[in-house]
Chain A
C-alpha cells in the first residue's frame, strides 16, 4: 500500500483574522477576542501581536488585560466564525472528498490518490493556499504527512501562512528534536510524567522500548510509542479521515458578569443553555440520554448533578425540563450563582435509536420536533440569535466560542 497523503489545514489566528476583515484597523495590533477587559470569562483567541505578551486562549480576560494593557478587546461573533467556517469547509471540499473538520478552524483532508487531479503534494498545497485566500481572504497553514499526526505537527511548525511536508520515512528524524508536548494528546500531566523519566524530546521517547512505555502508561503508552514514530495511534487517531466519530458529550456553560440568586434569571439561563445544547444535538443528529447540571456558587464550590432520561432526546423543552428539575432539587435557594452549565451525554446516533412515543402529550413531542427544526432552519439562515424560546430570552448572553473546543482533538495544540 502506498503511504497515505494527509493534509492538516489550520487557519492562522482564525477569530482575530475574521474580526480584522470586519474592522481592518485591527490589523497588526494586539487583539484579544472574547469580551471586554473588565469582564469575567476567558480569552477565545489572541492575535500574534497579543500572544507575544503571553496572552493565550482560555486565559481570564482580566489576566490578559494585565499582561497586555494596550490590547484591543473585541467581543466574539460566533455567527461570523461559523459562517467563515462553512466557507472554509466548502473550499476544502473542492480538494478532497474526505474532509473532516476537527474544529471550527482546522480540518484534515485525505489527499491520497489525488495526484493526477491536483499534482504533487506541494503543488496541491500551493493551490489550496491560493484558493483559500481568494475565497475567504484568510491565511492558513498546511501540514502534509503520511499520517494525521504528522500532518498536524507539521502545520503547527509551518505557521504562519506556510506549508510543510515531512517526507515519508523521515518522520522520526523530523520529530526527534521537538518537545514531547508537541504530540497531540500530550498535556501538562503527561509531559510532567515523561520529564520525570528524563524524557524531554520526542527522540528520547523513540529510544525507549515500546514495552517499557506500555508498562508505565498502559495502552496510552503503546500509542505514545507509535506517535513518537509519527504514526496515527490510539483513540481518535485510529479512525479514518471523515469517519463519523460520535462525541462523548455536548455542553454549554455561562458565567454571569454579576453573580445572581434570582430564580427567574437562573432558570432563564438554563433554558437558553438547554436550547444551545439541543440545537447542537440536532445539528449532529444525536440523541442524549443523560442530562447534567453544573452549578458554581459565588465561593467557587461547584456541583454537578446528572439524570438519565426515560428515553433519549434532542428537544429543547425535554432537556430543559430535566435540568430545571435538577436545579430546583439541588440549588441552595437564595445562594448566589456564578456559573451554570448544561451537558448532554450518553449520546447515540438517531439511526440506531428507537424513540418511545408519548401517550399524554397529544402529539406535543411531534410538534416540538417540527417547530424546532423550523427554528434551526431560521438560525442557519439568519444566525443563532434570530429565534429563541421566550423563557430563554431574558437570558440572552453572548455565546462564547473557542477555536478548539475541548470535545475535539487538538485542544492541547502547542501555541504556534
Chain B
C-alpha cells in the first residue's frame, strides 16, 4: 500500500490558517470514523496534511477511513497528527474567525484563534497507518441521490449478529443499466432496484458487499453533500467512494452473500393495500402490549378488515382494525412489530401493499406506487 501524499509535505514544519467554519464542517463529517476505543492510540488522531492551498484531514479505524479537505492559507507545507475528539470539542467552542495551526517540536501542535491559544499533544505521523490509494481505472459514477435512497431503503435490514458475518453488510449489484441493493439479517430482507441508469464501465454483473459501518457512514456523507455523483471503485481489498472532496474507503467484506433470489416470494396471493401511515400507527399502538422480548404482533387479514393485535401476560392485550378492500380467504400471521415499522419508516408513508401466503411463509410488503425504484421487503413470520 502506498500513501497518497505529496512528498513535499513529508518534510518541513506545517503552518496554516483556516476558517473555523470550514474546519469545523470537515471535523464534524469525519467524527464517525475516528476510533473510539483507544487500543491503538494513533487511530484516535487525525492526520493533517497541508499542500498547495489545501488542508487534508484523514481519520481511520483501520476498517474504514475518511479523507476530506478544506481550503487553507498554507504558509509552510507539512503534516502532523492531532487528537481528533479533543480538537473537535475545542474548535466548536472557538469564535467564528481564522484559526492558525502550527506544528511545534515533539509533535506538539499550536492552535491560535483570536485571543485563544492552545497547544495540543500530537503523535508522530509516521505511526499513522498508510491508506489505500484511489484506483486510476475502473471508476464508476453513481448518482448521489440514487445511492442515498438505496441505502435508506436497505441499511436498516443489515444484521449486526457477528456469527452471521456475511450478513453484516449490504450487497450492491451493478449492471450496465441498473443498480440493485439487498440487505438481510436472516429474518427480513430489503431489496431495491433501479433501472434506467447508465453505468459506464460496467459489463455483466458487478457484485460488492458493503459493510454496515461503511453504509452508515455513506448515508451521513450523502445527507450532507451537494455533490451529484459518487465515484465508486474497488480493488482486491478495499472499496472507494468519492463524494465531492471527501473520500471514504472501506475494507471489503469477504464471503458469500446468501442466494436471495430463492427466498423472494413468488406465490403470495393474498394481497391488500393500506395507508402506510395508518398501518404504522396501528402497529405501534398494539405493539405496546406485545411481549417485550419478541415484539410479536398478530396480523389478521379478513373480508373488509385488517386486524392487528398483540398480548402479553404482563401488560394485557390490544387490537386495532383497518378497513381494507379484501374478499379472499382469511389469513392470520405473526410478525415482529419492529420489522414492519422499519419498512414503513423507510417508505415514509404512502400506500403499502401487503402480500401474504400463509402463517408459515414469508410476507411481502412494498409501496403500492413506485415508478423510480422497485422496492420490496420480505419478512419472515413468527410462530405465535
Q: Which residues of A contact B (CB under 8 A)?
A: 289, 310-312, 321-322, 325, 329, 352-362
Contact = CB atoms under 8 A, between A and B. Distances in A.
Given A289-B293, A354-B296, A356-B380, 5 more contacts: A311-B187, A352-B291, A354-B383, A356-B187, A359-B186
Contact of B380 (A289, A321, A322, A359): A359
Contacts of B263: 359-360, 362
A354 B187 contact: no
Contacts of B120: none
A362 B382 contact: no
A360 B186 contact: yes
B1 interface: no
A360 B184 contact: yes
Nearest to B359: A357
Contact of A360 (B163, B258, B293, B383): B258
A321 to B, nearest CB: 6
Contacts of B380: 356-359
B294 A356 contact: yes
Contact of A359 (B162, B378, B382, B383): B378
A19 to B, nearest CB: 42
Nearest to B185: A310
Contacts of A362: 262-263
Contact of A354 (B163, B185, B262, B334): B334
Interface in B294-335: 294, 296, 313, 334
Contact of B336 (A322, A329, A356): A356
A129 B228 CA distance: 88
Contacts of B187: 310-311, 356-359
Contacts of B163: 321-322, 325
A88 B341 CA distance: 53
B268 interface: no
Contacts, number: 55
A362 B293 CA distance: 25
B123 interface: no
Contacts of A352: 291, 313
Contact of B383 (A310, A321, A355, A361): A355
B189 interface: yes
Contacts of B28: none
Contact of B382 (A310, A357, A361): A357
Kindly name the residue among B187, B262, B313, B336 whose own CB sees the greatest number of chain A CB atoms within 10 A.
Answer: B187
A289 B294 CA distance: 11
B381 interface: yes
Contacts of B383: 354-355, 357
B336 A359 contact: no
Interface in B258-296: 258, 262-263, 291, 293-294, 296
18 contacts: A289-B293, A310-B185, A311-B294, A312-B293, A322-B163, A354-B334, A354-B382, A355-B382, A355-B383, A356-B187, A357-B187, A357-B382, A358-B380, A359-B187, A360-B184, A360-B263, A362-B262, A362-B263
Contacts of B362: 359
A206 B294 CA distance: 47
Contacts of B162: 325, 329
Nearest to B381: A357
B161 interface: yes
B168 to A, nearest CB: 13
Given A310-B161, A360-B258, A360-B263, A354 B291 contact: yes
A49 B187 CA distance: 59
B164 to A, nearest CB: 9
Nearest to B384: A354
B188 interface: yes
A310 B187 CA distance: 10
B189 A353 contact: no
B37 to A, nearest CB: 15
B360 interface: yes
Contacts of A321: 163
A93 to B, nearest CB: 30
Interface in B152-207: 161-163, 184-189
